[in-house]
Amino acid sequence: MLSALFRLLSRLPLAWVHVLGAALGWLTYLLSPAYRRTLRANLAQAGLDEPRLRRSAIAHAGRQGIEAAWLWRRPASDIAGCVQESEPGALAALLARRQPLLLLTPHLGSFEAAAQYYATLPQAKARPMTVLYRMPRKATLRALIDRRGRPGLLLAPASLAGVRMLMRSLRSGQTAGILPDQVPSRGEGAWVSFFGRPAYTMTLPVRLAAASRARIVFALCERLPAGRGYRLRLVPFDEPLTGDLEADTQRLNLALEALIRQCPAQYLWGYNRYKTPGGTAAAGATAAEAP
- What pLDDT, on the 0 to 100 scale, is given for residue 281? 80
Burial of 243 (0-12, 13-18, 19+ CB in 10 A): exposed
| Residue 89 bridge partners (DSSP) | none
pTM (two decimals): 0.91
Inter-residue contact 101 to 41 (CB < 8 Å) = no
- What pLDDT, on the 0 to 100 scale, is given for residue 285? 59
Inter-residue contact 196 to 45 (CB < 8 Å) = yes
Please report, for the chain, how many H helices and E strands are present, in that order: 11, 9
- What pLDDT, on the 0 to 100 scale, is given for residue 140? 56
SS3 of the chain: helix, strand, coil, percent, to 5: 50, 20, 30
- What pLDDT, on the 0 to 100 scale, is given for residue 139? 58
- What pLDDT, on the 0 to 100 scale, is given for residue 134? 74
- What pLDDT, on the 0 to 100 scale, is given for residue 145? 61
- What pLDDT, on the 0 to 100 scale, is given for residue 291? 47
Q: What is the C-alpha to C-alpha distance for residues 107 and 158, in angstroms, rounded to an integer?
A: 17
| DSSP-assigned letters across all residues of 186-217 | TTSEEEEEETTEEEEEE-HHHHHHHHHTPEEE
- Please give the average pLDDT of every successive group of 10 residues along the chain, which has 291 residues: 77 95 98 97 97 98 94 93 95 92 96 95 93 70 63 88 94 95 91 97 96 96 96 95 95 97 98 91 59 47
